[in-house]
Amino acid sequence: MLVFEFKIYGKVLQFKAIDEAIRTTQFIRNKAIRLWMDGHAKSWVELSRHCALLAKEFPFAGNLNSMARQAAAERAWASISRFYDNCKKKISGKKGYPSFQKDCRSAEYKTSGWKLSEDRKSIFFSDKNGIGKLKMKGTRDLNFYQPNQIKRVRLVKRADGYYVQFSISVERTEIITPTHQTVGLDVGIESFYTDSLGNKVENPRFYRTGEKKIKRSQRLVSRKIKGSSNRQKARTRLGRVHLKISRQRKDHAVKLARCVVQSNDLIAYEDLRIKNMVKNNCLAKSINDAGWYQFRVWLEYLGKVFKRVTIAVNPSYTSEQCSSCGSIVKKSLSTRTHVCQCGCKLDRDNNAGVNILNLGLSTVGHTGTFALDASNALGELASTLIGAILLEQVDS
């Protein structure tokens, strides 16, 4: 599934109609949550039936397309089913009990209620909200895909304008030549990551860089009267600052993950629990600013696209264990050099990167599977020794 995004342009009345569609989506979702809380809905089918009743009872709900109303109920059921799954798994802490949404920013259409123009540069919404025809501007080309491949169309409101997203049902695969290289990545705060070869990537610290603008914009919001138009304008300016930082962080994660995946046949990284790590009040801001989880998500996704192996290993003792002899060398966070009795002297993060790579290779060798396809289980191959180059041994 591919998601293409375009910025849309229209008149003020059209944007007000989009806002009305988004508010209706939020209303239907919250009504579905209330219906479940009261015990009147125990399945997705019952919530879907309730959408038709809401359209008859509330005229503004009937203005929204029928499939868009069903998509709003699907959002409610997704939160309910996630809560049930967390309870069955008996995860620790809060289970994510469904709550009412206060600030919805998108409305989703399925296969009806919209139509693309012949040149695929504009879109027309035909429901009773009166959105009408909107011009689209973006770098993607929709002419490569058939209209029946577009399964969802989503209108999104952001701080810098309105966007339309297309969910296209297509498999994305790219074939590149093997590099016969393997790498282990140790993420950190001082540097974004250090690989098993000792190469370091600088931590961009986008939030720290833009923190001065955020504080200034936040002060302007707090000075305005609640409910006034000036406060809304100040909130929009603050939202643009946050939006720029999030886009910078995503762009950095995507480009860096693509470079790592294309340069190596196997990538091993730490299976970190970011949710637990940010409980440290001294490091929470720096950990969130680094964006390790987003980098891991794109690393795994691009690994499937380019048919590369990505392995998450247990991070325990990767910084303390000696990569040469395997003995444990205790060290504090301030100690940045690994010195062992066997004579091994390495940078702390470089030593951890080598240990992560060895763990990844030993995992592949133990399972005997070379994970290349989307399910990470393409076929049975020979096991790999620790420290050996994976593809060369399999080919031999």
Question: Is the model's pLDDT at 374 over the cut of 70?
Answer: no
Weakest mean pLDDT among 108-112, 289-293, 303-307, 371-375: 371-375
- Contacts for 1 with CB less than 8 Å, ≥ 6 apart: 151, 167, 168, 169, 170
Q: Could you tell me if residue 247 is left (phi over 0), alpha (psi between -120 and 50 degrees) or otherwise beta?
A: alpha
What distance in Å separates the CA atoms of residue 50 and residue 37, rounded to the nearest whole number? 14
Residue 348: which of 184, 183, 189, 186 has the closest Cα? 186
- The interaxial angle of helices 66-89 and 44-57, nearest 10 deg, is 140
**What pLDDT score was predicted for residue 213?**
93
Question: Is the model's pLDDT at 132 over the cut of 70?
Answer: yes
Question: Is the model's pLDDT at 369 over the cut of 70?
Answer: no
Per residue in 342-360, pLDDT (tens digit) is: 878 888 888 888 989 988 8
Higher per-residue pLDDT: 236 or 41: 236
Structure tokens at 366: 């133990």
What distance in Å separates the CA atoms of residue 295 and residue 301, rounded to the nearest whole number? 10
**What pLDDT score was predicted for residue 365?**
52
**What pLDDT score was predicted for residue 388?**
36
Tell me the Cα Rg of the chain: 25
Residue 133: which of 115, 156, 157 has the closest Cα? 115
**What pLDDT score was predicted for residue 268?**
92
Residue 253: which of 305, 206, 310 has the closest Cα? 206
**What pLDDT score was predicted for residue 334?**
79
Structure pTM?
A: 0.82
CA 63 to centroid of chain Cα atoms = 32
Per residue in 243-278, pLDDT (tens digit) is: 999 999 999 999 999 999 999 999 999 998 888 888
**What pLDDT score was predicted for residue 373?**
36
pLDDT band at 95, cuts 50/70/90?
confident
**What pLDDT score was predicted for residue 202?**
92
What distance in Å separates the CA atoms of residue 235 and residue 223, rounded to the nearest whole number? 11
Provide the CB-side half-sphere exposure for 379 (13 A, CA).
4
**Which range among 142-146, 254-258, 312-316 has the greatest average pLDDT?**
254-258
Question: Is the model's pLDDT at 280 over the cut of 80?
Answer: yes
